[in-house]
Chain A
Amino acid sequence: MKLSSVLRLPALLAATLFTTAALVEAEHTSNWAVLVSTSRFWFNYRHLANVLSIYRTVKRLGIPDSQIILMLPDDMACNPRNAFPGTVYSNADRAVDLYGDNIEVDYRGYEVTVENFIRLLTDRVGEEMPRSKRLLTDDRSNILVYMTGHGGNEFLKFQDAEEIGAFDLADAFEQMWEKKRYHEILFMIDTCQANTMYSKLYSPNIIATGSSELDQSSYSHHADNDVGVAVIDRYTYYNLEFLETEVRDTSSKKTVGDLFDSYSYEKIHSHAGVRYDLFRGGAEAARSRLVTDFFGNVQNVEVDGTKNTTLEEDMLALSKTIAALRQKANEEEAALKKNTTADTESKQVPLQQKKIQFAKPLTDDNWWTKKIFGATALAGCAALWGLGSYFEAPRR
């Protein structure tokens, strides 16, 4: 009866938790953005313009340069072919110079490699790596990962030389999760067959979206005939359009769901995809996240004594575990009883197949009353148990 002795533990734990736990809510405390263009050469001007326009947007919504990792493999502004030296535009009207006078490129030229990208995400960098080139996130950081370039089925080309696979990316995110390097991630990718790139992700709390399905190309939006090249891709263009018109400042209440709903085949000319299943709470929770949760800088200050999100989460997780263990113990006991009558062969099969039922997670409504009920019940049980054991001891 080892399991039944385990059952004593949760009661103790619950008791201890109740004494210390401050009641809190799940939120992030910092916002980071990793913006990557993976292609070089003049005719890929649009990829750099894509990234720079997202860069401009996240900066506009408050993410500081210190929390943006910008990877640009080529320098379009200083390309001799550029008719407007020192500038990069993502629109033929050339209203906004994306290169401007305040831009911080963290990885440039041949530094933009698959290795550096994965090292950045997983923070496996050498001592000498400056802080500006590191992703200094923790388990309370929301990260926007935006990538663009030339891709194919489950890969994205880096600089004509190498490529990152969908599995590499998935494993990198999993490492991040294990190392508690993020709270939630919004992964956006604009490339041909983009949706295949996030198909292999398996880590929790990731919302992923891409510009096109398997075997679909992503297209450029328009060309600037004076620059002489296409200046932006369709998917990025319409994302920007939404961000510019609907999310004017950090107080915007537009949700990620609104952003995704703005995509249409007529606009993008390919089927943009969204993946919610990794996100805790599924589509509903993911869609209700604010756009500014990822694109903006929300500074939730954590003050001691106020609600603590992680503790509450831990409590929830703990209550789940308790329920699961109880269930398991009951089953095992039942199985043992059965064992005396049934033969050994039939015993093991149902045991293995039986799924562990989790307790329903607690919800916010009547939280206090439920907690008190639970606490009194547990305390009563503990008292009964103590009383029982006290009474039983002398008989022996």
Chain B
Amino acid sequence: MPRLLSGALRLRRDPRMLKLPPYLSLLCILVGVVWLFLLPLDEYSRRTYISENALLPGQVHTYFGGSDQNVFRAYKHEVNSLVGKSNVEINDKLESIVKGLGLKAGRQNFTYRSAGRVYSGENLYAILQAPRGDATEAIVLVAAWENAKEELNRNGVALVLTLARYFKRWSLWSKDIIFLVTPDSIAGPQAWVDAYHDAHDSARVDSLPLKSGALQGAIAIDYAKEGRFESVHIVYDGVNGQLPNLDLINSVVSIAGGQMGMGVAIQEMWGHNDQYPDRLRTMLRGMLKQGLGLASGPHSSFIPYHVDAVTLQPFGDGWQDEMAMGRVVEGTFRSLNNLLEHLHQSFFFYLLMQRERFVSIGTYLPSAMLVAANFTIMAIALWVKSGQPEGEAEPVKMEADGIGSGETTRAPAVERDLFLPLGVVTICQFLAVIPFYLFNHAPDSMLTPAFTIFAVINTALPHSLSHLLTTYYTPSAQQYQLIKSFSLLLLGMFLSSLATLNFSLAFLVGLLTSPLTFMRPWPQSPAMRTACTVLLNAVSPTAVLVAAAFAWHLDINTVLREAAFAWDVCGMYTPVVVWCVWWPAWLAGSVTVLGRPEVGKTKQKTT
């Protein structure tokens, strides 16, 4: 045992130890990526199951149908007559309808400003008070007048009105039911949920005139499609990649898929054969959506308030009609009605790869953590390395003298010059405020020009910074090591904490910044320097943004406007991560690559 210990200690002194970290980092990244690709296999993913005993999905007969079909047609007629009218006129009509049903109705104005645009409208909602309940809890049924793709949600609104009338006839509700009709899919629900929880900015959003109990769940109907449908698409991504409790999705899958016998899809996978490629595609789509953190429907705004919500979209051509959709909602509401407390039993952190297959956080988190850890490993290695004298040949020779000599003849640690590296990293971090402010406050028309100018400056910035550094400060190799060390340390820290909040975003950013681990100054080799610079420019935030916009056939203006809107209205923090975590790390890395350390400077200082 002591022999082993001394062996380990000697290994610690071994200079070869310092050559290990880059390989270790590389291994971390590789394992992290391979890990992710293993997840869709049967051995690593699990079948979904209902954890909450109270839900009992699909155990009730649903009676929505029959004469309700005629009611639906009548309401559809009313809705059709409102098409093209103003928001207030629509709400006037809808209010008279819900009041006619004997429900209490309320209206709420909101006006958001983002990227020089005004998003305003008026929400209308009605509360069905539980006949025998105690009004301490409520569930919400949402239909936006326009869905996320700005299509008219005619059937959705008509269905909500029909269901309001139908639900009013039942006496078995233990919770109040709130019917909410919003003019759009993002801002309206956001304003309403904010105001419901008194978390709204009263300058932009009016308070609600009427409230009920604590929200336990919400279902949004996005039914713009005309005619019969085949399956239901469950949209579940919330703002900032937050997800509703898995039990809610499982309940809908069990009711729609099991009880009603219709297909269920997630992540726009219209056909899913439950094989590895489809599972992987579903998972990656989910991760991408989660990583972007955008609101994907009226349900998204509810999730940050811990109100589990999903949007249901009918799709495909089949024989299911509006009544079938209504029955799915009825079944889900009966399940939610059974709840005794908030959904809490099942998972909040998961990746779905098929409607009945998932991996939980314990299984997938190591993947992003490993990627984040690679930065920390490298940062520590660089810190150690920066404390050792240059020229590694000496200790190797000494080791040949005999055992134990390594300890006695070890060169003393070199003093680290911290001011410059810390200064550079701090400046990089603070510079991040500029793009962040710029893209969140520039008016719509200025976004594209601003981005173009920024992209150009961004390419030139490392060069100019590097030039400034070398002319005024002539940093040593040690200082470059320290710049990189501090920058990577910050990156590793940010990403590992982010991984617990938004796994996908942390993983994506980690992957795109992984080249930074291996960047170092190339004073002797201009070819390597150029190659590294080109590589870094290819994975710069601006280049990735352009590439992504190109890949999805979006113009950069839309992307930036949506991002600004999401930041202003929904509080999406992806821009913060991009500009204040990713971009500074990238900048520091680029400066390091372009650095020309003065050889021998460290030695002079230490002697």
Contact = CB atoms under 8 A, between A and B. Distances in A.
Contacts of B56: 43, 228-229
A83 B172 contact: yes
Given A81-B172, A82-B172, A41 B60 contact: no
Contacts of B606: none
A228 B131 contact: no
B60 A80 contact: no
Interface in A32-79: 41-43, 78-79
A92 B54 CA distance: 19
Interface in A216-239: 223, 225-226, 228-230
Nearest to A79: B174
Interface in A152-167: none
Contacts of A225: 59-61
A171 to B, nearest CB: 31
Contacts of A85: 132, 171
A226 B60 contact: yes
Interface string B58-80: 01110000000000000000000
Contacts of B133: 80
A43 B54 contact: yes
A78 B388 CA distance: 78
Contacts of A226: 60-61
A219 to B, nearest CB: 14
Interface stretch (B154-162, B332-340, B376-384, B439-447): B332-340
A80 B334 CA distance: 12
Contacts of B340: 41-42
Contacts of B130: 80
Given A41-B54, A42-B54, A228 B334 contact: yes
A229 B174 CA distance: 15
A43 B338 CA distance: 8
Contacts of A230: 59
B79 to A, nearest CB: 31
A331 B59 CA distance: 72
Contacts of B409: none
B81 interface: no
B53 interface: yes
Interface in B522-565: none
Contacts of B61: 225-226
Contacts of A42: 54, 174, 338, 340
A229 B59 contact: yes
Contact of B172 (A41, A78, A80): A80
B173 interface: yes
B59 A80 contact: no
Contacts of B171: 83, 85
Contacts of A43: 53-54, 56, 338
B236 to A, nearest CB: 24
Nearest to B63: A226
A41 B338 CA distance: 9
A386 to B, nearest CB: 79
Nearest to B259: A225
A82 B60 CA distance: 12
What secondary structure prevails in chain A residues at the interface with B?
loop
Interface residues of A, number: 16
Contacts of A41: 54, 340
Interface in B192-241: none
A71 B338 CA distance: 23
A80 B131 contact: yes
Given A43-B338, A81-B337, A81-B338, A228 B59 contact: yes
A228 B338 CA distance: 9
A240 B254 CA distance: 33
Given A43-B53, A81-B337, A223 B59 contact: yes
Contacts of B173: 80-81
Interface in B318-339: 334, 337-338
A229 B56 CA distance: 7
A223 B57 CA distance: 12
A78 B340 CA distance: 15
A228 B174 contact: no
A43 B52 CA distance: 10
A78 B172 CA distance: 10
Contacts of A80: 130-134, 172-174
A85 B130 CA distance: 14
Contacts of B53: 43
Nearest to B335: A228
B559 to A, nearest CB: 47
Contact of B60 (A78, A79, A228): A228
Tell which of A41, A81, A85 has the most Cβ of chain B within 10 Å: A81
A82 B132 CA distance: 10
A137 B130 CA distance: 46
Nearest to A40: B340
A225 to B, nearest CB: 4
A81 B338 CA distance: 7
Interface string B484-500: 00000000000000000
A42 B334 CA distance: 12
A36 B340 CA distance: 23
Interface string B148-189: 000000000000000000000011111000000000000000
A228 B255 CA distance: 13
B131 to A, nearest CB: 7
Contacts of A223: 59
A82 to B, nearest CB: 7
Interface in B33-67: 53-54, 56, 59-61
A81 B340 CA distance: 11
Nearest to A83: B172
Contacts of B134: 80
Interface in A8-50: 41-43
A81 B131 CA distance: 10
Nearest to A225: B61
Interface string B113-133: 000000000000000001111
Contacts of B172: 80-83
Nearest to A82: B172
B174 A81 contact: yes
Contacts of A228: 56, 59-60, 334, 338
B133 to A, nearest CB: 5
Most B CB contacts (10 A, CB to CB) among A42, A78, A80, A85 go to A80
A246 B337 CA distance: 40
A393 B492 CA distance: 112
A228 B60 CA distance: 5
Interface in A222-277: 223, 225-226, 228-230
A83 B174 CA distance: 11
Nearest to A42: B338
A21 to B, nearest CB: 60
A362 B130 CA distance: 70
A43 B339 CA distance: 9
Nearest to A44: B53
Interface in B86-142: 130-134
Contacts of B132: 78, 80, 85
A43 B174 CA distance: 13
Most chain A beta carbons < 10 A, residue from B54, B61, B170, B172: B172
A225 B63 CA distance: 11
A161 to B, nearest CB: 14
A307 to B, nearest CB: 55
A230 B56 CA distance: 9
A229 B171 CA distance: 16
A85 B131 CA distance: 11
Interface of B: 53-54, 56, 59-61, 130-134, 170-174, 334, 337-338, 340
The 4 A-B pairs with the shortest beta carbon distances in the complex, nearest first, are A80-B132, A228-B60, A80-B174, A225-B61
8 contacts: A43-B56, A80-B130, A80-B173, A81-B172, A83-B171, A223-B59, A225-B59, A225-B60
Interface of A: 41-43, 78-83, 85, 223, 225-226, 228-230
Given A83-B171, A83-B172, A85-B171, 4 more contacts: A41-B54, A43-B338, A228-B334, A230-B59
